[in-house]
Amino acid sequence: MAEAEPAPTPAPEPGSGSTPEPRPRRLSPGRTDWSTWPVYERAALGLRNFWYPVAWSEDLREAKPIPVTLLGERVALVRDAGKAYALHDRCPHRGVPLSLGSQQFPGTISCPYHGWTYRLPDGVMCAAITDGPESPITGKVRVRTYPVEERLGLVWVFAGDLDAKPPPVEEDIPEELLGRPLSIGGRIQPGRAGNWRYAAENGFDEGHAKYLHRDSLWAMFRQLPVWNDTKVTRSPDNRWVIRKQQSVHWEDTFPGLGPWSQARWWKVVRTAPTPRAARSVDPVIASLDLPAKASVRLPYILRIAYPRFIHYEWAVPEDADHHRYVQVLVSFTEGLSAQLFRMAYLGYIRWAFHGQFTGQDAWMVDVMNIPPERLYRPDASVIEWRKLVEEQHRETGPAPPRRRARATGGPASPAG
């Protein structure tokens, strides 16, 4: 287990004097002590050349474009004749969002201001309505389009470099979710505060759940351990980092302080180290033979496997300080069982787990401020995640210039 990364000398904390100072901006260029992981360090705006889930398919309706921010770029999702499209959400004429526009001709979207009209498949401006059919600018302007797919009831956008050839979307979806019946519940929360890396690290962070969430509704009747001895390892295909529990300590004594535990008369101890080891396990989940409950892969897909369902989450980067938090709960059921799962999701799980429980995470992701940082033994999980990014990112070409991206606006360079 990694004891700790070499600790940098902490910068003097602003606000240590008598006058409160404004909160420091996060990830300021002077704080470079993530340099052990250079790709990760400069990925403030996300990892490019991956597919990201950004919206529910059922929410993307004809004539109702959806604006999303993705890796520092504004994107308009549009549905036309049943098919989803994605365009850069900025009219080149005067910078008005195309997502505010409407459809005047089949297969196009027209900007609400002067009616410049863009073809959905390739973004070419095919009519400037207010300059007539012979307008000389027609065909000379184009907005960027993005590859879009729909799977699992979600709209996926490939956030890639301009010249990148997207892999099939299935490449970026956990394979157990493809080609079998399943039932899904979930939440998508845009504009969640905090850089996407904070959310990712929180999701896979070994140490926090048993303490931060100890009084959550989701854990109300379960005793959480004091601490675990955890081995961080990889899946056989090397795509996932996995947290394997070696031993679980339900109570312990701290020298000079005394005993501490979360034992309460109304809480039960559940000891299964893997979902498969539980007393009642869904046959599909058992067949996956997951070596542990928690695993993570790029571009940040967290998988938490319970015996009857699996939680997946994405922290889709928006800008340097916000992400779109996508939580999906999957049950490998159909028919009546799927309906019961949906009822349980809507009646309780969505509220207790995808609401209050992960709301505690949102609180931490919002208030944390790194680097600098001082890591401890359970942070081996965080370190291995950062290593995975260094190994499996899809960045191409030289490192982009180190400048901070604007919160909104057009295509922007990743910033450190």
Which residues would be at the binding site for Fe ion (CB under 5 A)? 209, 361
* Integer Cα distance of 288 and 304 in angstroms: 13
Of the candidates 301, 295, 293, 292, the one whose C-alpha atom is nearest the C-alpha of residue 200 is 301
CB of 92 to Fe ion, least distance (A): 42
CB of 109 to ligand FES, least distance (A): 11
**Residue 91 contacts which entry, Fe ion, ligand FES, none (Cβ below 5-8 A, type-dependent):** ligand FES
Residue nearest to Fe ion according to CB distances in the complex: 361
Q: Which is nearer to Fe ion, 355 or 411 (CB)?
A: 355
Q: Which is nearer to Fe ion, 108 or 327 (CB)?
A: 327
Residue carrying the six token digits 């340097």: 320
- Put the strands of the sheet holding 183-193 in their side by side order: 183-193, 322-331, 310-319, 301-305, 294-297, 241-249, 227-234
CB 202 within 8 A of CB 365: yes
CB 281 within 8 A of CB 264: no
CB of 311 to Fe ion, least distance (A): 11
CB of 116 to ligand FES, least distance (A): 4
* Integer Cα distance of 193 and 365 in angstroms: 7
CB of 93 to ligand FES, least distance (A): 4
CB of 202 to Fe ion, least distance (A): 6
**Residue 111 contacts which entry, ligand FES, Fe ion, none (Cβ below 5-8 A, type-dependent):** ligand FES
CB of 361 to Fe ion, least distance (A): 4
Q: Which is nearer to ligand FES, 96 or 212 (CB)?
A: 96
**Residue 241 contacts which entry, Fe ion, ligand FES, none (Cβ below 5-8 A, type-dependent):** none
Rg of the chain in Å (alpha carbons) = 23
Q: Which is nearer to ligand FES, 114 or 239 (CB)?
A: 114
**Residue 361 contacts which entry, ligand FES, Fe ion, none (Cβ below 5-8 A, type-dependent):** Fe ion
Instruction: Show the tokens assigned to 346.
Output: 């809507």
**Residue 8 contacts which entry, Fe ion, ligand FES, none (Cβ below 5-8 A, type-dependent):** none
* Integer Cα distance of 126 and 341 in angstroms: 47
CB of 43 to ligand FES, least distance (A): 32
The HSE-up count of residue 321 (CA atoms within 13 Å, CB side) is 13
- State how far the alpha carbon of 281 is from the alpha carbons of 37, 182, 278, 400, in Å: 38, 15, 6, 47
For 194-232, the DSSP string reads S-HHHHHHHHH-TTTHHHHTTT-GGGTTBPPPSEEEEEE
Q: Which helix (H) or strand (E) holds 148?
A: strand 148-151
Please measure the distance between the N-terminal and C-terminal CA atoms of the chain and give it in whole angstroms. 28
**Residue 114 contacts which entry, ligand FES, Fe ion, none (Cβ below 5-8 A, type-dependent):** ligand FES
* Integer Cα distance of 262 and 260 in angstroms: 7
CB of 407 to ligand FES, least distance (A): 21
Binding site for ligand FES (CB under 6 A): 91, 93-94, 96, 111, 113-116
* Integer Cα distance of 406 and 412 in angstroms: 8
Residue carrying the six token digits 């001895």: 229
**Residue 113 contacts which entry, Fe ion, ligand FES, none (Cβ below 5-8 A, type-dependent):** ligand FES
Q: Which helix (H) or strand (E) holds 108?
A: strand 108-110
CB 195 within 8 A of CB 26: yes
